[in-house]
Amino acid sequence: MGTFSVTVAIGDIEDHGSEEVEALVDTGATTTVAPASLLRRVGIEPTMTREFEYADGRKVDLELGQAIVRYEDRQAPTLVVFGEEGSGVLLGAITLQALFLGVDTHNERLIPVTGLLN
């Protein structure tokens, strides 16, 4: 699958602040990841720690917090991982699902999707 970036705003759930960033769309990532300094700057604090696995098999414990992510006219609460400094922002699967967005890899864009109930 090709990769592409979109502009999103990440902010705290109480709407005290947010910051627009370029995020790499990564459906292989469970959650959205952003540098810890960015998350703290907009008022997001860690609330839990979970284990994650890198593509090379390494496992690490990372902190997570709650955020609001906005993309165009959509916004949703989601979990964000406090990533390493200097790393980019990844827009992960949970956030895409919360925003009711799918990935059109051919045209490198996000598209609205309908929620499913079973």
d(CA 21, CA 3): 16
Report field, pTM of the whole predicted structure over 0.95:
no
pLDDT digits (tens, 9 = 90+) for 27-81: 889 999 999 999 999 999 999 999 999 889 999 999 999 999 999 999 999 999 9
Rg (C-alpha) for the chain, rounded Å, is 14
pLDDT digits (tens, 9 = 90+) for 5-35: 999 999 999 988 899 999 999 988 999 999 9
Of 96, 94, 64, nearest to 80 by C-alpha is 64
Specify the CATH number of the domain 5-112: 2.40.70.10
Question: What are the boundaries of each domain within the chain?
Answer: 5-112
Residue 2 has a pLDDT of: 64
